Structure formats: structure tokens, C-alpha cells
Amino acid sequence: MTHILIVEDEERIASFLTKGLTGVGYGVSWAASGAEALALTHAEPPDLVLLDLGLADMDGMAVLRRLRAAECRAPVIILTARTGVTDTVAALEGGADDYVTKPFRFAELLARVRLRLRPAGDPSAGPADDAAPPALAVGSVRLELATRRAFVDGGEVALSAREFALAQTLMRRPGQVFSRSQLLSLVWGYEHDPGSNVVDVYLSYLRKKLGADQIETVRGVGFRWRKP
């Protein structure tokens, strides 16, 4: 049975989530504090973590960092009342896989959970993309897909996991225009625009690291990786 760990210090919310998730067949554990979450994760690694940022004993971001430092590879979905793009970016940069703001509808959260638990190659994920080569090279930029390393003019550049995924998506089809909603779906797994400028923020990161002229903005349409 798929095991989900809920890290939430509000019993009412934890009870609501537990009831909903067990009702659709998931096994659920509840941790009311960051320390308890870390202990439970060590004792029984979960398949997915729902993590509240506003915990009483430690900030949820600290819990996230310690989970990733302990090599917990389970997808982490952040639950929080914080709505600023800075918090969103910090959570995703810190190793979170998704971000849901409170209040939320259970149906939306469940869709996010199912998306993050979907195995690679699952036919329900839609048509498969082109077979991935061992590396992508467009102009001066090269991505080594197996090692997740990026190079510009032969020199290595450090990219976060999300930056790498965004660059890979654009470089696979240089010249093709991707809308914000397409990039949100392909890179972040969102099925709609959550009302943030996270795509623009990450494109800015890539331009600084890989070259300002690599990614072109097509006004009113979207973005594309410039063909050499």
C-alpha cells in the first residue's frame, strides 16, 4: 500500500487529510511536529510527504532540507498559507516537488498527489516524448542528462533540479514556442496557472547562468530556446 506522511500541526487539517486519503486507498501516517516527521521518515520511509511550512517546533523548510540531506527521495508537496512567489521559489529550490496554498480543495490536492506518485512511463501520463538522448547540445550549451550536469562553452554551470528540467524542456525543441501554462505543466506538473510568476523567475535564473540570449521571449505567446 502506498504510504503518505502528513506533517501538519493542526489536528483538524490533519484529520481531514487522513480521512480523505485513507478513503481513496492510501496508507497514512501523521506527524504533528518536524521532529516527529524526521523520526517517522527514518523509521518507515514514505512514498510521499505532505509538509506544512508553519510547524510549531521548526520551520517546514528546515524539515525539507533535513529530509533531502538524509536522502529522502519521496516527492514532497508543500502545504502552506504563504502565497508569495518568494516562498514558492524557495520551497521548490529547497527540494519540494509541488506547492499547494491553503485553503485548498481536496480534489485538487488529490490530483497533485496522484501526479507525483505516478510512475515514470505510466501510459496514463499521456503520449511519450521523443526518446531522450544521453546529452542535449544547442549552441554553446550542453546538458548531460544521466549526470544532470550543464556546461556553457565547456565550463560547468551549477543548475538546480528545476532549472535543469526547464532548460531540458526548452532545448529539446529549439525554436518551438512554449507558453507559460505549457511550461508549468511540463516542468512543475501544474494543470493550470496558479497565479504566480514562477516560470519567469526560473527563466531569469537560466538566462543569468546559461546566457542572456539563449532564451527568447515571444511577446504575448511564450518562450523558446534560440536556434544556433
For the chain, which residues make up each domain, given as ranges?
3-124, 135-225
Place of cell 514532497: 76
The whole-angstrom separation of Cα 8 and Cα 148 is: 33
Architecture of domain 135-225: Orthogonal Bundle (1.10)
Q: Are 143 and 173 in contact (CB under 8 A)?
A: no
* Two domains, one topology: 3-124 and 135-225: no
Question: pLDDT truncated to tens, each residue of the chain (228 aa)?
Answer: 789 999 999 999 999 999 999 888 889 999 999 999 999 998 888 999 999 988 989 988 999 999 988 888 888 999 988 766 777 777 777 788 888 888 888 888 888 888 888 754 443 444 334 444 578 899 999 998 878 889 999 999 998 888 888 998 899 888 999 888 888 877 776 655 555 678 888 999 999 999 999 999 998 889 999 988
- pTM, to two decimals: 0.58
Percentages of the chain per state (helix, strand, coil), in multiples of 5: 40, 20, 40
* Torsional class of 218: left (φ above 0), alpha (ψ -120 to 50), beta (otherwise): beta
Q: Provide the grid cell at 115.
A: 501526479
Of the options 1.20.120.530, 3.40.50.2300, 3.40.640.10, 3.40.50.300, the CATH number for the domain spanning 3-124: 3.40.50.2300
Name 164's Cβ contacts closer than 8 Å, sequence gap at least 6.
143, 148, 150
* Integer angstrom CA distances of residue 158 from 16, 67, 92, 167, 208: 41, 22, 16, 12, 12
